[in-house]
Amino acid sequence: MDVAIMTCEQCETPLEKGDLRCSVCGFTAPLAHHHVVVEKKQVLRCTGCGAAIAYDAKRQAPACSFCNSLVKLETIEDPVEQTEGYLPFTVTSDDARRALQAWLNSLGWFRPSDLTSSAQIRELKPLWWVAWAFDADAVVSWTADSNHGSRRSAWAPHAGQSQCRFRQVLTSASRGLSQLEASRVSDGVNLQQVHSEPMGADDAVIEQFDTQRSQARQQIANAVYDEAKQAVRSEVPGTSIRNLNISLVVTGLTSKRLSLPAYVMAYQYKERLYRVVICGQDTKFLVGNAPYSVFKMVMVGLVIGLVAIIFLGIAASS
Amino acid sequence: MVSNTLQSTKEQVEISCKSCGSKLLLSAHQLSTVCPYCGSPSVISRPPSEDIPSPTFVIGFQIDRERASELARAWLRRGNWLAPTSFKKALPNLIQGIYLPVYLYGTTAHSRYFAKIGENYTETETYTTRDANGKTVTRTRTVTKTEYRSLQGQHATYVMDVIVSASKGVSNAKFQEIEPYDLRAIRRFQPSMIAGWTAEEPSRSQAECFGLARQETHELIQRKLREFMPGDSHRDLQFDTQFSREFIDFALLPVWCFAVRYSEDKPPIQILVNGQTGRVAGKAPVSAAKIGSLVVGVLIFFVVIALFAVLMGQG
């Protein structure tokens, strides 16, 4: 686990070990230990054989031309990082099964009548999926067109600037869950309880973070941008909005890597498999797909068509 | 490491090679050299002075000498079809691979802007015209019109990764042509990174570089604001930007320098190759003869077309 060693002097974002510059605002990270440079000239010698060393473009590091050993340099570190904590499963697999049945029952009339009785659960897998939870403050400048104050054109321009605070916003890092699935089931978790070990399910699949730090930061930055855009939408006057542009100055961006509990289920109905994901802490948060009854939909379509023809007939004759 | 006293003048520095003891003369801005007698690379570290700081960052060469020469030759052959043939056939003469002194600049930019935002709308208008029989008729058509509304507001953004050349040998405009550098490969400066290569100290003052960086940032903000404006179009964009929390770092970036001498009586042309990405830039000369023949060719083409039209008309 990486501990932030200091924060950026400009935007208060924590710097991690191996950062030479702040990832949010580009400010230079201070040297860990200052040393005084005195005027001198050096012939740099290999520690192995004592020959003079020179920088080698092919190997992108200083190298000794005799014994080929490389000199280690301080570069930007870009590791693949691991989860910092697990949120426990509080829903059992039986609860998840019952939630699926209840959900299938609640889907409504357009579904096949035998859906609940014929659907067979083929797979039920507890999964710790991965996400980042971030905190940030941001000055958001925005412009947009809306119908408010419009004259001849349907649109009028507006602009504004506001301070946004984001606390514990989740953004998915998962490859196993789709964006839609992740955003739906993430609403049901309690971010206050984080354990250092997996808890509540023994046989759960544990998804790993597989992005490098630089890419992770990019994804988090995109999430902050999307979140800010969503937040200032309500500040634009009027009811219809277009061309919403924002510019951000983010400060104090911190993020945690978390593993969140979910059940991934597959059920079979008439030869086909359907997938459902249920939040591992609250079965109300469930997302999935289910078949429609083609027969029922065609019948309704026919009835509507028939009624329309009758009405048109009446209207025409009168 | 033992430190030797250096006899420094304004123009040149004399150092003695630590390996073989021979005396070497370096120009005052040079940071490293290779002894011509024994081949030992030397790096000079000076204490930072007010105007010449010590380097903070460095990006290492990734393009080696052979690859750089290939890229420069390829650039000469293609893409400059108006250049004299002697230029395209000339062999680029490698001057050196150099760690160019640059300043990396960043700031927080707060701007106030005013603009006229164009919002389109459609109107149906009537007009009169003549129909096929020559009668005057009135018809309607839909036209798109633009209504301009004024908008003012504030814009704030971080600006980072603005790089300006601190060397008098390479103008900032020229340097911009071989940008960008991938700053993810940046390293904290260590003397061993420039060992065996030529590196320069800044020959432009920090104040001058600050000015250049602010100018580049101003242009960047203008581009950002243009994208930021709502509406279907905009005009009369005015803005006033305040820079706060500016920072500037001295860095060394890899550049291959070539000179092309294609004619006895013309000055050589400088070609730069980005030592990290291999991007080539230079200002190719234009051949007067080629321009002349192009103009004549275009004229002949139009004359032929005109003649053809006249003949067709008569026929």
Predicted ipTM?
Answer: 0.74
Rounded CA-CA distance B214/B219 in Å is 9
User: Which residues of chain B make contact with A158, given a CB cutoff of 8 A?
Assistant: 151, 230
**Chain B positions in Cβ-Cβ contact with residue A53 (cut-off 8 Å):** 41, 192, 195-196
Q: How far apart are CA A154 and CA A239, in angstroms?
A: 12
User: Strand, coil or helix: what is B43?
Assistant: strand
Q: Lowest mean pLDDT: which of A61-75, A192-206, B217-231?
A: A61-75
Distance of residue B262 Cα from the nearest chain A Cα, in angstroms = 30
Q: What is the pLDDT of residue B50?
A: 57
Does the distance separating the beta carbons of A28 and B249 come in below 8 Å? Answer: yes
Query: Is the model's pLDDT at A78 over the cut of 60?
Result: yes
d(CA A157, CA B146): 13
Nearest CA to CA, how far is B128 from chain A (Å)?
25
Residue B314 CB contacts under 8 Å (≥ 6 apart), including other chains: none
Task: For residue B246, count other CB atoms closer than 10 A to its CB.
Answer: 15
Closest CA to B202 of B129, B60, B102, B105: B102
CB contact (8 A) between residue A245 and residue B228: yes
Distance from CA of A173 to the nearest CA of B (A): 22
The owner of tokens 């990082």 is A81
pLDDT of the residue at B148:
95
Query: Given this model, what pLDDT does residue B200 score?
Result: 79
Q: Which whole number is the average pLDDT over A13-41?
A: 70
Structure tokens at A215: 């890419």
- For A252, the token pair is 């104090």
Look-up: residue for tokens 């730090």? Answer: A213
Q: Which residues in A lie closer than 8 A to residue B186 (C-beta atoms)?
A: 20-21, 75-76
Q: Which residues contact A2 (CB under 8 A, 6 or more apart)?
A: A16, A17, A81
**For an interface test with A, which of B192, B244, B277 has the most A Cβ atoms less than 10 Å from its Cβ?**
B192
Q: How close is the nearest chain B Cα to the Cα of A257, in Å?
A: 23
Nearest to A239 by CA among A119, A169, A146: A146
Question: What local confidence, expressed as pLDDT, does residue B44 receive?
Answer: 65
Contact partners, residue A21, CB within 8 Å, separation at least 6? A27, A28, A29, B160, B183, B186
Model pLDDT, residue A115 = 84
- Using CB atoms within 10 Å of the CB of residue A192, give its burial: 0 to 12 exposed, 13 to 18 middle, 19+ buried: exposed
**Residue-wise pLDDT tens for chain B (315 aa)?**
333 334 444 566 666 666 666 666 666 667 777 766 666 666 666 655 655 677 889 998 999 888 998 998 888 887 667 777 777 777 777 767 888 889 999 999 999 999 999 999 999 888 888 888 888 888 888 999 999 999 999 999 999 889 999 888 888 888 999 989 988 888 888 877 887 787 878 888 888 999 999 999 999 999 999 999 999 999 999 999 999 888 888 999 999 988 888 777 777 788 899 999 999 988 877 778 888 888 999 999 999 999 988 888 776
Residue among B291, B314, B310, B282 nearest B90 (CA): B282
Residues of B numbered 74-113 whose beta carbons fall under 8 angstroms of chain A's beta carbons: which are they?
Answer: 97, 106, 108
Q: Coil, strand, or helix at residue A8?
A: coil
Helix, strand, coil % in chain A, rounded to nearest 5: 20, 35, 45
Closest CA to A31 of B254, B190, B164: B190
Per DSSP, the three-state class of B225 is helix
pLDDT score for B74: 87
A40–B60 C-beta distance less than 8 A: no
Report the 10 Å Cβ neighbour count for A67: 13
Q: What percent of chain A has pLDDT over 90?
A: 36
Query: What was the pLDDT predicted at B118?
Result: 95
Helical (H) or strand (E) element with B293: helix B288-314
Note the pLDDT of residue B29.
67
Give dist(CA B210, CA B104) in Å, integer.
Answer: 10
Q: How far away is chain B from the Cα of A169, in angstroms, using its nearest Cα?
A: 22
A142 — pLDDT class (breaks 50, 70, 90): very high
Contact status, residue B242 vs residue B108, Cβ threshold 8 Å: no
Contacts of B36 (CB under 8 A, 6+ apart): B24
> Which pLDDT belongs to residue B1?
32
Contact: A157, B247; criterion CB under 8 Å = no
Residue A33: what pLDDT?
Answer: 46
Say yes or no for a CB contact (<8 Å) between B191 and A44: yes
Grouping H, G, I as helix, E, B as strand and the rest as coil, residue A106 is coil
State the pLDDT at residue B43.
67
What Cα–Cα distance (Å) separates residue B156 from each residue in A7, A60, A230, B107, B208? 22, 38, 18, 11, 25
DSSP B28: T
pLDDT of residue B22: 65
- A255 vs B30, residue with greater confidence: A255
Beta bridge partner(s), residue B120: B146
Q: Which of A55, A65, A146, A249 to mutate to test the interface with B (most CBs of B within 10 A)?
A: A55
**B184 closest CA partner among A225, A215, A255, A220:** A215
d(CA B280, CA B269): 13
Pick the closest to residue B40 from A94, A66, A95, A22 (CA basis). Answer: A66
Closest CB to A43 among B42, B155, B183: B42
Cα–Cα dist A146/A91, whole Å: 45
Q: Alpha-carbon distance B288 to B84, whole Å?
A: 8
Give the closest of B155, B186, B196 to A54, CB-based.
B196
Best to test chain B binding among A40, A75, A214, A236 (most B CBs inside 10 Å):
A40
Quick one: pLDDT at residue B41? Answer: 67
Best of B18, B188, B222, B224 to substitute, by most chain A Cβ atoms within 10 angstroms, is: B188
Nearest chain B residue to A246, by CA: B228
Decide if B106 and A27 are in contact by the 8 Å CB cutoff. yes
Closest CA to B294 of B77, B103, B82: B82
Residues of B in contact with A40 (CB under 8 A): 1-4, 44-45
| Residue whose token pair is 């400088």 | B270
pLDDT over 80 at A63, yes or no: no
Consecutive H or E run containing B12: strand B12-16
